[in-house]
Amino acid sequence: MIFNEQLIAKYNQPAPRYTSYPPANYFQDTLSSEGFMELVEASNSAEPRNISLYFHIPYCRKRCFYCGCNAYSMARPDETKSYTDSLIQEFRLTAEHLDKQRPISQVHFGGGTPNALPIDLLRHIMEAVSQYFSYTTDAEIAIECNPAYLDASYIEGLAQLGFNRFSLGIQDLNEKVLQAVNRTPSKLPLPELMQNIRNTIPAATINLDFIYGLPLQNPTGFSKTIDRALSLRPDRMVTFSYAHMPSIFKAQQLLEEKGLPSPSDKLSMFQNAFEQITAQGYRAIGFDHFALENDELSQAQKAHQLHRNFQGYCTRKTTGQVYAFGVSGISQLENGYIQNSKSIAEYQAALAKGEFKVEKAHRMTPTQKIVREAINELMCNFRIDFEQLDQRLHQPLGTVKNTLVLNLQVLDAFALDGILDYTPQSISMNPEGILFIRNVAAAIDPLMKNNIHAFSKTV
């Protein structure tokens, strides 16, 4: 990717992040428990047939000041037991409506901090899953872990439960930065921790998360962190831009008082990290995710088979209909999205009556299903081949082209700036343009013609 400051100034405009289509602020429907289960039952005959399960664990031992996730400090250790009981109950209620012949290709534990749960509670959840379903041979069993609470015996427990994808929240390797954001450093030194996971689970894929834009960070220090991480050859890395929304996440106000890096330092951290990581044999998946060339995400991108759901990037082969459990979890089904209540009390009270508490939902229109596929294709595989997409969607030729907003003046302007190539058959992003992929997606999205929602800036 080439960083052109003039283009950044021109295109750094608000646009959806497109982690879903339509974007989550379009989810405005309400849905009863019965309506929810109707969507679940309809998903039994949808493509892809595989099942993806997401379990949200909202607990952390303490909260990091920058955090924008749905996470709470644990008031009492026994809270996690009653929450796990609710999760299992919710899973069983949903599983009753699913075709048991469908295989599981993905399980993802996210949070919060899933490894804040005692390993026995994770075992109870995994045992409940196995009572109903079997797995594909190459199923991904993934967990987001805070390394402050990860040790050899916990890793051994995860190995016994079949976990094979580990995402470790590192954020920065400078302890002063971690201290400034109220975060405990890794319990084991990172080289030892990664070696331990690799020795215990030889097939494990390890991802490391970083954030740039926090107090005390600067381009030199963040480059050192990235170099130290690269020397350990993680399979994947993510460099998140710190998302600062202090009106929603009050603790973030404390970071403003400590002083945040300037926008130009933030851009340098992003640019340096991108160049350091891609120079070491990693492929950029989007612009903030990276994977080794032999990793399945890189292979999938090369074969135009990369996909994405709320849990992150995945391959077309592993992704399924996503059924989410726990507070704030979002089920992503062929015909709609359903988000659970964000409140633990509300979520548990509804389940105590055998019901689901839906926070918000969205039923997909036929047009939105077509645009969803096209925008996913652009965001993941950097191109849209109109005819290929018509075929994949079993639509008459020309449907995708007629559904998207293909304004020639707008596309020509992108092409003149070197952002994309456009032919009557396809749109393909140039390496110089990938930074502006959200601008291109918004330009072809029919929903953006009359948009009334606020979005973050694209760069």
Ligand X SMILES: C[S@@+](CC[C@H](N)C(=O)[O-])C[C@H]1O[C@@H](n2cnc3c(N)ncnc32)[C@H](O)[C@@H]1O
Interface ranges with ligand SF4 (CB under 6 A): 60, 63-64, 67, 69, 71, 111-113, 146, 169
- Which residues within the stretch 91-110 sit at the binding site for ligand X (CB under 6 A)? 110
Name the minimum Å distance from CB 110 to ligand SF4.
9
Choose among ligand SF4, ligand X, none what residue 243 binds, the Cβ cut-off being 5 to 8 Å by kind.
ligand X
- Identity of the residue, 43 or 146, whose beta carbon is nearer to ligand SF4 in the bound complex: 146
209 interacts with, out of ligand SF4, ligand X, none, CB within 5 to 8 A per kind: ligand X
* Residues ≥6 apart with Cβ < 8 Å to 171: 64, 177, 178, 181, 183, 209, 210, 211, 214
Helix, strand or coil, per DSSP, at residue 185:
coil
84 binding partner (options ligand SF4, ligand X, none; Cβ < 5 to 8 Å by kind):
none
Task: Give, rounded to a whole angstrom, the gap between the first and last alpha carbons of the chain.
Answer: 13
When the beta carbons of 16 and 110 are compared against ligand SF4, the nearer one is 110
CB 109 within 8 A of CB 143: yes
User: Which residue lies nearer to ligand X by CB, 21 or 66?
Assistant: 66
Closer CB to ligand SF4, 60 or 322, in the complex: 60
Q: What are the CB-based long-range contacts (under 8 Å, 24+) for 191-198?
A: 191/232, 193/147, 193/150, 193/168, 194/232, 194/234, 196/152, 196/155, 197/155, 197/166
Which of ligand X, ligand SF4, none is residue 157 near (CB under 5 to 8 Å by kind)?
none
114 versus 433: smaller Cβ distance to ligand X? 114
- Closest CB to ligand X among 23 and 111? 111
Which of 24, 42, 69, 98 is in the footprint of ligand X by CB under 6 A?
69
Find out whether 226 and 210 touch, Cβ atoms under 8 Å: yes
39 neighbors 336 (Cβ within 8 angstroms): yes
Report the C-alpha dihedral over residues 5, 9, 14, 19, rounded to 10 degrees.
-10
Single residue of 113, 205, 439, 458 touching ligand X by CB under 6 A:
113
Applying CB under 6 A, the span of 65-73, 92-100, 390-398, 437-445 interacting with ligand X comes to: 65-73
Mention every residue, 6+ apart, whose C-beta is less than 8 A from residue 416: none
The residues in 222-251 that bind ligand X, with binding defined as CB under 6 A, are 240, 242-243
Q: Which is nearer to ligand SF4, 61 or 316 (CB)?
A: 61
192: number of CA atoms within 13 Å, CB side?
8
Residues 6+ apart with CB under 8 A from 404: 371, 374, 384, 444, 445, 446
Q: Both tokens of residue 417? A: 């700036």
Residue 215 neighbours by CB distance under 10 Å: 20
Footprint of ligand X on 195-214 (CB under 6 A): 209, 211
Pair 55, 125: CB distance under 8 Å: yes
Among 53, 84, 141, 144, binds ligand X (CB under 6 A): 144
Question: In the bound complex, what is the minimum distance in angstroms from residue 120's beta carbon to ligand SF4?
Answer: 21
Least CB distance from residue 204 to ligand SF4, whole Å? 20
Residues in the chain, overall count: 459
Q: Which two tokens stand for residue 156?
A: 């051994």
Residues that bind ligand X (rule: CB under 6 A) add up to a total of 18
177 scored as a contact of ligand X (CB under 6 A): no
Interacting residues toward ligand X by CB under 6 A = 60, 66-69, 110-113, 144, 146, 169, 171, 209, 211, 240, 242-243
